[in-house]
């Protein structure tokens, strides 16, 4: 049994302690917002937070985050998250959409730390999140829009 | 993707066009081949999975349009939407003719039923070749117009007034005294007889077509809603991953499954034609089970050649005459008598599509009926392949098409490879539990179905004044279409049109032009990859033309324009892109511009790339693009597709290649199969040529020009003409 704190709720899971968080969350807890893209910490599709910091859930054994507050895309809430989602809609960012939960997690984490990011800050924060539809330009624009909304 | 005849299938924008109904109540369409629109007679079986099963009270107007009592207009998309905005585009066509309010529009996928939902260019239900808008443009407008006519008739009956007094605007029906929503009148309207004509709008009256509206799937995707096959959980569902042979063509030999079966959650191990499947109660258990599996492969038929050996073979072939594709005049003679000869050899690597959602499909087989959940791109073929394996009829295979997390061609497979796998697993297990087949990223990168490796050998003779005297061109590589259901329309006398498209039909006026092709065989199956043959042919043509211009001391834009006199649409995009990019004006230090223009899928695209060299690598700062894709249905979606097409193509040109050593793929995941990352995305500026020509493709045409535009800028900066891709294997140095 491993005790996890997912989106503010405590759950006990029976998976082996070395099972990646992503598969426990997707297959056992049926929260499918975080996606499987590479399984090797190379694409960012599986991004979740552990105590507020982005992690690659596909390579994070559950035992390593027991007791930490895990946030999945479904549990992402608050002013910054709302501003980011609204900006994504405004700029019609998603194409296939598969990478977008991870992109949004990364963008919200960036704005939490740096409310008015520079282009370089954005590059650094987003470079680990692949988008095969290449929506990168719109993501950049949407991050700036969200930042302005939050300043306003 | 497929050789089509869009021009003949889509007439000019029908203006007040009337369409007759035949006696059986089938609306006869004037477009395409048998694009029959059945009105009022058919109840669609809606996708059970998206949780949107047809509700009691929903009014079905025709196979494409359903209106709910809650006043939603559901448009059933016969095309897969894998990110290209297709479903929203089709809903736009219906919404416009129906005079619906945008907020009431909903897009869902149609069931698999080729009789109702075939791609009128393919004859089967399927999406590809950037044909979605072109083959549906009139069909979906007519569906919307027919539904509106029935709503008006119902209103006239309810209000005892003449239909001519009734107007419809933004989803509200009124005769000046009474008003009603679509939802209020829908059930009465759906019972109305279909009148014998539908009148389509004059394009000047379009309310949505030609304007940018947000995608109908945007909200779901931004809120991480479970819309993908990967997200589906069915009760009792098991997950399968498959161990496939390291070399193409090998088969499972002996299997030691003891350790695999010992993994917690593993339920079974079964051998199928292409590999060995590990079936488990969860994805992770299946993956771990596969890691523990020991398979000895039968390599009797394995292809053990690596890319180095293939390249040698291709070079040897390129030295010999191939199948004749085109012969204007006498190229060899003209080259022999030329002042200067450019002799160039280009090599293009295998490319994986690597859609963000790794391949997957769910199949449940019970009581002789199968149901598939998949981002299905060729429903009719998926149906028949699964049916043949399961021993049932294709009509007993239902498909719930899901939003696909990308495809770029990979989900449209002539042999339905991954659907076949899951069908074989279900059959081998003899289970009535749903099986979800999951490919890992490694399976995807190593799994074949690549953009084939190609070699081009080009010899161009130039006259004293730098004009082209003769051009001889040989292409060597696997035929994508040969042996598939699409061969009949794409392969003539052994020549696969998709191997040579973009070269064989060059718009440039070139005297003494000769094109030949050699078809090769290799174990890794080939497949169309976003823009198919144009992925390599545009690169060769546009870098060669650029090199010739530069060598002749001519401006690359002016040189092209002089040879495009008979092609005004090419010339127009080229001029517009050059003008908007400030072609000929100074650029920042260390930056150079490169240009390319190419037609694909009946659309015309020109791009100017601004490039600099940093740490030996090309860095693209900005791309200015002009596009003519006929009538722009949703301009912002056109911009998005051009941005995406550029990013997808740029990633490949800069970084991507699949190589093989002794028949084994060297790459495994995004660490060694590199694609475009965030900080490499250029600023993209898109200019759309206003047009009233029929709409043409947009999902693919943005991809071909980016490679040559960047390579031409690199040549301007470094003097290096890069003829072997990707660019990353070359060390670039600004001269
Ligand atoms: S799935 Fe975790 S980083 Fe790609
Ligand atoms: S939107 Fe398709 S991968 Fe990002």
Q: Do A135 and B643 touch (CB under 8 A)?
A: yes
CA nearest neighbour of B373 among B236, B229, B546: B229
> Which single residue is written with the structure tokens 């859609």?
B355
Q: Do B282 and A23 touch (CB under 8 A)?
A: yes
Residue with more model confidence, B53 or B146: B146
DSSP symbol at B24: T
* Same domain flag for B372 and B333: no
DSSP symbol at B669: S
**B379-418 confidence digits (pLDDT tens):** 999 999 999 999 999 999 999 999 999 999 999 999 999 9
Per-residue confidence (pLDDT) for residue B690, from 0 to 100: 96
- CA–centroid distance, B716 to ligand 2, in Å, is 33
Q: Is residue A40 over pLDDT 60?
A: yes
**Rounded Cα gap, residues B676 and A127, in angstroms:** 10
Average confidence (pLDDT) over A19-34 = 97
Q: Which of A38, A98, A100 to mutate to test the pocket of ligand 1 (most atoms within 8 A of CB)?
A: A38
Q: Which residues pair with B27 in a beta bridge?
A: B21, B37
Atom of ligand 1 nearest to the CA of A39: 1
CA nearest neighbour of B136 among B190, B209, B187: B209
The total number of residues written for chain B in this structure: 735
**Rounded Cα gap, residues A18 and B288, in angstroms:** 11
Of A75, A91, A119, which marks where a domain is finished? A75
**B492-515 confidence digits (pLDDT tens):** 999 999 999 999 999 999 999 999
* Same domain flag for A92 and A27: no
Q: What is the CATH number of the domain that holds A49?
A: 3.10.20.30
- CA–centroid distance, A130 to ligand 1, in Å, is 9
Phi, psi of B13 (to 5 degrees): -55, 115
* Same domain flag for A10 and A63: yes
- 3-class DSSP string for B406-439: CCCCCCCCCCCHHHHHHHHHHHHHCCCCCEEEEC
Of B181, B216, B251, which marks where a domain is finished? B216
* Same domain flag for B472 and B426: no
Identify all chain B residues contacting A40, using CB atoms and an 8 Å cutoff.
Answer: 441, 669-671
Q: Is residue B663 over pLDDT 70?
A: yes
Domain range enclosing A54? 2-75
**Rounded Cα gap, residues B489 and B467, in angstroms:** 36
Q: Is B651 in the pocket of ligand 2 (CB under 6 A)?
A: no
Residue B236 CB neighbours (<10 A): 10
Q: Do B640 and A92 touch (CB under 8 A)?
A: yes
Per-residue confidence (pLDDT) for residue B300, from 0 to 100: 97
- CA–centroid distance, A128 to ligand 1, in Å, is 9
Q: Measure in Å the smallest separation between the Cα of B699 and chain A Cα atoms.
A: 11
Q: Is residue B1 over pLDDT 80?
A: no
Q: Is residue B681 over pLDDT 80?
A: yes
- CA–centroid distance, B668 to ligand 1, in Å, is 14
* Same domain flag for A22 and A83: no
Phi, psi of B535 (to 5 degrees): -60, -30
Tell me the two tokens of residue B694: 């029929």
Interface probe, candidates B221, B409, B686, chain A, greatest A C-beta count within 10 A: B221
**B239-261 confidence digits (pLDDT tens):** 999 999 999 999 999 999 999 99
Average confidence (pLDDT) over B475-480 = 98
Residue B20: burial class (beta carbons within 10 Å; 0-12, 13-18, 19+): exposed
Is residue B562 in some structural domain? yes
Per-residue confidence (pLDDT) for residue B33, from 0 to 100: 26
* Same domain flag for A108 and A95: yes
Per-residue confidence (pLDDT) for residue B231, from 0 to 100: 97
Of B161, B188, B216, which marks where a domain is finished? B216
* Same domain flag for B370 and B510: no
Q: Is residue B539 over pLDDT 80?
A: yes
Q: Which percentage of chain B shows pLDDT scores above 90? A: 85
Phi, psi of B403 (to 5 degrees): -60, 135
* Same domain flag for B141 and B245: no
Is residue B444 in some structural domain? no
Q: Is residue B673 over pLDDT 50?
A: yes
* Same domain flag for A21 and A60: yes
* Same domain flag for B137 and B206: yes
Q: What is the CATH number of the domain that holds A100?
A: 1.10.150.120
Tell me the two tokens of residue B421: 């796998």
**Rounded Cα gap, residues B171 and B98, in angstroms:** 8
The ligand whose atoms approach the alpha carbon of A96 most closely is: 2
Average confidence (pLDDT) over B321-344 = 97
Please report the DSSP string for A38-99 in residue order: -SSSSS-TTEEEETTEEEEGGG-BGGGGTTSEEE-GGG--SHHHHHHHHHHHHTT--SS-TT
Q: Do A32 and B284 touch (CB under 8 A)?
A: no
Q: Is A97 in the pocket of ligand 2 (CB under 6 A)?
A: yes
Atom of ligand 1 nearest to the CA of A42: 3
Atom of ligand 2 nearest to the CA of A132: 3
Residue of chain A whose alpha carbon sits nearest to that of B642:
A134
**A53-76 confidence digits (pLDDT tens):** 999 999 999 999 999 999 999 999
**Rounded Cα gap, residues B88 and B96, in angstroms:** 12
Q: Is A36 in the pocket of ligand 1 (CB under 6 A)?
A: yes
Domain count, chain A: 2
* Same domain flag for B370 and B497: no
Q: Is residue B311 over pLDDT 90?
A: yes
Per-residue confidence (pLDDT) for residue B120, from 0 to 100: 80
Q: Measure in Å the smallest separation between the Cα of A73 and chain B Cα atoms.
A: 6
Is residue B506 in some structural domain? yes
Q: Is A131 in the pocket of ligand 2 (CB under 6 A)?
A: yes
Give every CB contact of residue B45 below 8 A, 6+ residues apart in sequence: B54, B111, B398
**Interface A-B: count of C-beta contacts within 8 A:** 173
* Same domain flag for B543 and B629: yes
Q: Which percentage of chain B shows pLDDT scores above 70? A: 92
Q: Is A130 in the pocket of ligand 1 (CB under 6 A)?
A: no
Residue A152: burial class (beta carbons within 10 Å; 0-12, 13-18, 19+): exposed
CA angle, B51 then B145 then B6, to 5° = 90
Per-residue confidence (pLDDT) for residue B32, from 0 to 100: 26
Classify the phi-psi angles of B532: left when phi > 0, otherwise alpha if psi is within -120 to 50, otherwise beta.
left
Q: Do B283 and A20 touch (CB under 8 A)?
A: no
Q: Is residue B21 over pLDDT 80?
A: no
Please report the DSSP string for A54-65 in residue order: EEEGGG-BGGGG
**Rounded Cα gap, residues B679 and B669, in angstroms:** 20
**Rounded Cα gap, residues B420 and B398, in angstroms:** 15
Q: Do B679 and A39 touch (CB under 8 A)?
A: no
Q: Do A96 and B357 touch (CB under 8 A)?
A: yes
**A71-121 confidence digits (pLDDT tens):** 999 999 999 999 999 999 999 999 999 999 999 999 999 999 999 999 999
Q: Measure in Å the smallest separation between the Cα of B107 and chain A Cα atoms.
A: 14
Per-residue confidence (pLDDT) for residue B54, from 0 to 100: 57
Tell me the two tokens of residue B608: 């100017």
* Same domain flag for A46 and A59: yes
CA distances from A136 to A53, A100, A129, B406, B627 (A): 22, 11, 10, 15, 20
Q: What is the CATH number of the domain that holds B73?
A: 3.30.365.10
Q: Is A46 in the pocket of ligand 1 (CB under 6 A)?
A: yes
Q: Is residue B51 over pLDDT 70?
A: no
Q: Which of A95, A101, A126 to mutate to test the pocket of ligand 2 (most atoms within 8 A of CB)?
A: A95
Identify all chain A residues contacting B223, using CB atoms and an 8 Å cutoff.
Answer: 85
Is residue B311 in some structural domain? yes
Residue of chain B whose alpha carbon sits nearest to that of A26:
B231
Q: Is A112 in the pocket of ligand 2 (CB under 6 A)?
A: no
Task: Say if strands B397-401 and B495-496 run parallel, antiparallel, or are unpaired.
Answer: unpaired
**A12-23 confidence digits (pLDDT tens):** 999 999 999 999
Q: Is residue B376 over pLDDT 50?
A: yes
* Same domain flag for A91 and A51: no
Give me the residue from A20, A89, A98 closest to B405, CB to CB: A98
Residue of chain B whose alpha carbon sits nearest to that of A123:
B679
Comparing B26-35, B523-532, B568-577, B630-639, which segment has the lowest mean pLDDT?
A: B26-35
Q: Do A42 and B671 touch (CB under 8 A)?
A: yes
CA distances from A2 to A12, A88, B164, B410, B496 (A): 6, 36, 70, 39, 57
Identify all chain A residues contacting B441, using CB atoms and an 8 Å cutoff.
Answer: 37-40, 42-43
Identify all chain A residues contacting B636, using CB atoms and an 8 Å cutoff.
Answer: 92
Of B416, B438, B460, which marks where a domain is finished? B438
Is residue B445 in some structural domain? no
Domain range enclosing B636? 307-350+450-729
Q: Do B358 and A96 touch (CB under 8 A)?
A: no
Q: Is A95 in the pocket of ligand 2 (CB under 6 A)?
A: yes
Q: Is A56 in the pocket of ligand 1 (CB under 6 A)?
A: yes
Q: Is residue B346 over pLDDT 80?
A: yes
Domain count, chain B: 3
* Same domain flag for B542 and B575: yes
Of A36, A57, A75, which marks where a domain is finished? A75
Per-residue confidence (pLDDT) for residue B197, from 0 to 100: 79
Q: Do B356 and A16 touch (CB under 8 A)?
A: no
CA nearest neighbour of B239 among B423, B440, B435: B435
Give me the residue from B403, B648, B650 closest to A132, CB to CB: B648
């Amino acid at each position: 049994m491993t005790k996890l704190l997912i989106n503010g709720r405590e759950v006990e899971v029976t998976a082996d302690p070395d099972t990646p968080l992503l598969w426990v969350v997707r297959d056992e807890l049926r929260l499918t917002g975080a996606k499987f893209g590479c399984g090797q910490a190379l694409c960012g599709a599986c991004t979740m937070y552990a105590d507020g910091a982005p992690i690659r859930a596909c390579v994070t054994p559950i035992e390593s985050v027991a007791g930490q507050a895990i946030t999945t895309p479904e549990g992402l809430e608050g002013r910054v998250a709302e501003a980011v989602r609204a900006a994504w809609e405004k700029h019609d960012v998603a194409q296939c959409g598969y990478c977008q939960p991870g992109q949004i997690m990364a963008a919200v984490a960036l704005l939490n730390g740096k409310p008015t990011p520079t282009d370089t800050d954005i590059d650094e924060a987003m470079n680990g999140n692949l988008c095969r539809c290449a929506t990168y330009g719109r993501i950049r624009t949407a991050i700036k829009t969200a930042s302005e909304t939050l300043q306003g | 993707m497929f050789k089509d005849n869009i021009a003949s299938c889509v007439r000019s924008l029908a203006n007040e066009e009337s369409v007759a109904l035949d006696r059986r109540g089938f609306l006869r369409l004037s477009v395409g081949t048998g694009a029959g629109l059945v009105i009022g007679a058919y109840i669609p079986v809606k996708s059970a999975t998206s949780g949107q099963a047809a509700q009691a009270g929903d009014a079905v107007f025709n196979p494409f349009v359903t209106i709910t009592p809650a006043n939603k207009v559901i448009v059933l998309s016969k095309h897969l939407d894998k990110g290209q905005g297709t479903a929203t585009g089709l809903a736009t066509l219906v919404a416009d003719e129906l005079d619906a309010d945008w907020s009431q529009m909903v897009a869902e996928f149609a069931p698999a039923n080729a009789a109702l939902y075939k791609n009128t260019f393919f004859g089967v239900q399927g999406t590809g070749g950037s044909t979605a808008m072109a083959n549906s443009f009139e069909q979906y407008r007519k569906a919307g117009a027919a539904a509106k006519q029935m709503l008006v008739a119902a209103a006239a009956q309810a209000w005892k007034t003449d239909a001519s007094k009734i107007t419809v605007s933004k989803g509200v029906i009124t005769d000046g005294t009474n008003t009603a929503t679509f939802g209020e009148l829908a059930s009465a309207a759906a019972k109305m007889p279909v009148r014998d004509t539908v009148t389509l709008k004059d394009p000047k009256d379009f309310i949505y077509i030609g304007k940018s509206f947000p995608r109908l799937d945007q909200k779901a995707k931004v809120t991480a809603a479970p819309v993908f096959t990967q997200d589906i959980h069915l009760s009792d569902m098991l997950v399968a991953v498959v161990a496939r042979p390291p070399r193409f063509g090998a088969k499972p030999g002996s299997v030691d499954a003891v350790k695999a079966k010992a993994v917690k959650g593993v339920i079974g191990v079964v051998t199928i034609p292409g590999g060995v499947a590990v079936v488990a109660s969860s994805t992770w258990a299946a993956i771990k089970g596969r890691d523990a599996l020991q398979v000895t492969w039968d390599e009797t038929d394995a292809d053990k050649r690596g890319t180095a050996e293939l390249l040698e073979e291709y070079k040897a072939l390129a030295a010999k005459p191939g199948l004749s594709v085109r012969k204007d005049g006498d190229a060899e003679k003209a080259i022999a008598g030329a002042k200067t000869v450019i002799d160039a050899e280009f090599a293009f690597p295998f490319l994986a599509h690597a859609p963000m959602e790794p391949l997957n499909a769910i199949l449940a087989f019970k009581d002789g009926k199968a149901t598939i959940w998949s981002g299905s791109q060729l429903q009719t073929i998926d149906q028949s392949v699964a049916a043949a394996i399961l021993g049932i009829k294709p009509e007993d295979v239902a498909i719930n098409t899901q939003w696909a997390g990308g495809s770029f061609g990979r989900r449209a497979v002539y042999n339905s490879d991954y659907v076949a796998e899951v069908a074989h697993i279900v059959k081998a297990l003899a289970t009535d539990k749903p099986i979800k087949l999951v490919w890992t990223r490694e399976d995807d990168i190593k799994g074949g179905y690549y953009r084939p490796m190609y070699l081009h050998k080009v010899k161009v003779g130039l006259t004293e004044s730098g004009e082209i005297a003769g051009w001889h061109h040989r292409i060597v590589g696997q035929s994508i279409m040969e042996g598939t259901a699409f061969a009949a329309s794409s392969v003539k006398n052994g020549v696969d049109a998709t191997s040579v498209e973009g070269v064989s039909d060059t718009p440039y006026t070139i005297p003494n032009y000769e094109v030949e092709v050699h078809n090769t065989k290799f174990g890794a199956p080939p497949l169309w990859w976003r823009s198919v043959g144009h992925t390599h042919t545009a690169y060769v043509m546009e870098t060669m033309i650029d090199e010739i211009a530069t060598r002749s001391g001519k401006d690359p834009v002016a040189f092209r324009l002089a040879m495009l006199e008979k092609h005004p649409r090419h010339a127009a995009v080229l001029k517009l892109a050059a003008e908007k990019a400030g072609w000929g004006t100074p650029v920042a230090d260390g930056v150079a511009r490169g240009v390319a223009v190419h037609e694909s899928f009946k659309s015309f695209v020109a791009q100017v790339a601004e490039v600099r060299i940093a740490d030996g690598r090309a860095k693209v700062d900005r791309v200015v693009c002009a596009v003519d894709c006929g009538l722009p249905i949703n301009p912002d979606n056109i911009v998005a597709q051009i941005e995406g097409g550029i990013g997808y193509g740029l990633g490949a040109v800069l970084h991507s290649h699949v190589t093989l050593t002794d028949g084994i793929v060297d790459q495994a995941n995004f660490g060694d199969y590199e694609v475009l990352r965030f900080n490499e995305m250029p600023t993209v500026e898109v200019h759309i040529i206003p047009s009233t020509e029929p709409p043409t493709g947009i999902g693919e045409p943005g991809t071909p020009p980016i490679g040559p535009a960047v390579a031409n800028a690199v040549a301007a900066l470094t003097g290096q003409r890069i003829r072997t891709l990707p660019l990353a294997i070359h060390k670039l140095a600004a001269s």
